Structure 1
């Protein structure tokens, strides 16, 4: 018999997350502790519950720019080696507790240099934290592997430097590169030389595109820059036409993205907060999923959205009636798009995910 698709069973099911920001997932109490330790005195509250509410309400503005302002506080405490290591360790623990078996967590090293840390030192501290968190999770009977994505901030001019940093640390757990920050006015082609460098170095990369800006952002990311995945990609739906009879026609960009199996790192709660989608019912996720785009389910920022991977799946299950086979499909989509070696992806899919979902769906014994 099929296992009931409850929130607790969703939490226990093995999951893969590709789009999770380290500076968007701090525990509120950790933020308070580190603010005290590091001398950061601009937190809106020193009560963990009140602070969590402040982040959630501030992020619910419907503006990407205001949403991004909340990161001043989290980045503000990520300025010492010990703080970074603690935050990374807790991120790995929290994701593992939510049933995540493989996570790609991203952050911008350039934002943690306010107190003099070097870029390599920041990466080393983060990798140390992820390893520590994975070890603690294993001691509690949970297995997680964390791959790191290094972000260049698109409004700055350091993407090449960060790309070289990613390549330099590719053998210590850094699996890819991304550009983050406001899309409007900062098209991905501003960093086109960096993306050419990454291709020459055989380094994976994803690009935030199609979140607050329209289809041209997606086209540039894919056609000009060569993105392997799209961070959000919500506005790709602008290139999908649904007729009165329910027929669906894809435009050239949408067809290309689907044909090339370019994964969409979709984050439902975050998309509502930033205004990328007006409501969950109007979110393009079900349309793109039905048309067999490689949609994946992600958190974006667990603190700001007060979410987990499981709760994001829960929203989609409740809104669109998805069952275990859909949860499995979206999870396999993420595993197939992960920036790890083919053999590791195959082992994750064949040895971990498929057997687990067969058991949940009642297909195995």
Structure 2
């Protein structure tokens, strides 16, 4: 698998608009930016390697429903994924695909086997629409130690609801499978608690001790350069094992200040989700009008497919616009692309470029 992510604006200096990375179209809230600047007096000290203030603040944020020692903070969600793999060393990890490439990279870095389960394209790569086949696969399998999946799924943007999460989690418990849910894009959903495992974990911590949620403020508050993520698991032994094998000081002082400020922001996620819903509808209709096959999405990015082998990414890049080629996603190829949802003027620029590209294809 080619190592490729969105946000590679560094290969040349031509990029004006980056549609390859999925951060909020509203950008970073000013209160977070100011908190980072104001934290400069602490930069000469080591941050708290145990993240005690952050863990307490996260517990408060979730209304005290999850105890503070069920949280672990890290240098973004990917850092926590790798830490989890190194802590538990699953022999086999099931990954519904297409999926964020870092799941497989983390599993293989830990010397473990990543086992793909292909979601059907005819369903829009929906977890819910593939439930019966996925559950049957799990029932018939033996030796699976872990399942890692995004909810919402990256790159398609569909999310599974609480009933689906509960049914899959119960089956995983019966089969001795540790379930990892990446909820980093959950913030862009309406009624986002309905699509999260955290309420289930809060209501029945013992029943869902085999479940971990990984989340971050990276996307919703445009904090990609600061790096902050957190894991939630009610099995304290899992958290302790992760603490023993991770690097110390994985959350820098500026990132800690940003995260603490993010926990006090109110209404920004809802504003971003509302804007994204309007602009996503606009982008989907326009992309379909250009002849692309456009897949359903519930969040701030859209997966679409060309019917030709024309390189839309290269064409757009030459004109200063970066889109995400999905050729290195398991189950996809170079005809698939993902674009983030930005504000109307920027979205129009993207569409104009793709229209020009279509005339050359």
Note whether the superposition's TM-score is higher than 0.5: no
The structure whose residues are more often helix, as a share, is 1
Scaled to the shorter chain, the TM-score interval is 0.3 to 0.5
Q: Specify which structure has the bigger relative contact order, considering alpha-carbon pairs within 8 angstroms and separated by 6 or more residues.
A: 2
Question: What is the TM-score when the length of structure 1 is the normalising length?
Answer: 0.32
